[in-house]
Amino acid sequence: MDSDLKDKHIVVTGGTGELGRAVVEALVAAGATCHVPHRGQTAPDGLRAALGPAARQLHLVGDVDLTSEPEVTSFYARLPTLWASVHAAGGFAAAEVTNTALVDLRFQIDMNLTTSFLCCREAVRKMVAAAAGGGRIVNVASRAALEPKGGSTAYSIAKAGVVTLTQCLADEVKARGILVNAVVPSIIDTPANRRAMPNARHDLWPKPAQIAATIVWLCRPQNQLVSGAVLPVYGQV
């Protein structure tokens, strides 16, 4: 079971962030080879160092703008036969509606929905083109999409789009052996979130490694049944 992803190629977007790094580490531990697109000063060297000798299973691909259709298409076209694609790239911003400009809404949609849409589309194209067919796609949505509240409307709208994308795509590709799911975290226990909410019960928040374990299970060949699921990974909050 620990090596059932051996020699399988998996994309992880947002792979240099807190959740993405945990996903990469867990996938590599399961034998996968991870392809991680990144941009700018996202500290990819830290990810390589964290993997130690297993860093040979990591392929960092720089200067990929995941909101750019040509760049995403080119990135996936250069990959070897693809087994899975995990989409953890995104961004959060809180603001009341009266303080949210159109450019802010578009930015949240681009960061969260556009990146997921483009990567889903190209992953499906890559998987369908493979002789064996089949594959796994996992998107990262948010509790804000399922339990929307005021104060982060643009973000909630964008993540709700990720949920709908997941469900539509799962139905569209089910006959091709491609399983598509989403995980839905609440507040993830990261240093940045702890700084933003110093008085919260951090011990109740889901840890990146715990969410990563769920994502890895969805990527495994043993997952033969689950598709179209939107799985809450809320922890105890």
| Token duo for residue 122 | 């190209």
pLDDT at 2: 60
Provide the pLDDT confidence category of residue 42 given band limits of 50, 70 and 90: low
Look at phi and psi of residue 7 and say left if phi exceeds 0, alpha if psi is from -120 to 50, else beta.
left
Q: φ, ψ for residue 37 (rounded to 5)? A: -75, 145
Instruction: List beta partners, residue 86.
Output: 12, 138
Q: Is the pLDDT of residue 179 over 50?
A: yes
Q: Is the pLDDT of residue 234 over 80?
A: yes
Q: Is 6 exposed, middle or buried (0-12, 13-18, 19+ CB in 10 A)?
A: exposed
Provide the pLDDT confidence category of residue 144 given band limits of 50, 70 and 90: very high
Instruction: List beta partners, residue 139.
Output: 87, 182
What is the chain's mean pLDDT, rounded? 94
Q: φ, ψ for residue 129 (rounded to 5)? A: -70, -20
Look at phi and psi of residue 179 and say left if phi exceeds 0, alpha if psi is from -120 to 50, else beta.
beta
| Neighbour tally for 99: CB within 10 Å | 9
Task: Name the one residue in this structure whose structure tokens are 């991680």.
Answer: 36
pLDDT at 1: 45
Question: What is the model's pTM?
Answer: 0.95
pLDDT at 51: 87
Contacts of 9 (CB under 8 A, 6+ apart): 32, 33, 35, 79, 80, 81, 82, 83
What 3 state SS string does the chain have? CCCCCCCCEEEEECCCCHHHHHHHHHHHHCCCEEEEEECCCCCHHHHHHHHHHHHHHEEEEECCCCCCHHHHHHHHHCCCCEEEEEECCCCCCCECHHHCCHHHHHHHHHHHHHHHHHHHHHHHHHHHHCCCCCEEEEEECCHHHHCCCCCEHHHHHHHHHHHHHHHHHHHHHHHHCEEEEEEEECCCCCHHHHHHCCCCCHHHCCCHHHHHHHHHHHHCCCCCCCCCCEEEECCCC
Percent of the chain scoring above 70 in pLDDT = 95
**Interstrand relation of 135-140 and 178-185 (parallel, antiparallel or unpaired):** parallel
Lowest mean pLDDT among 15-19, 164-168, 170-174: 15-19
What value does the mean pLDDT take over residues 186-210? 94
| Token duo for residue 109 | 């949609």
Percent of the chain scoring above 90 in pLDDT = 87
| pLDDT tens digits, 57-112 | 999 999 999 999 999 999 999 999 999 999 999 999 999 999 999 999 999 999 99
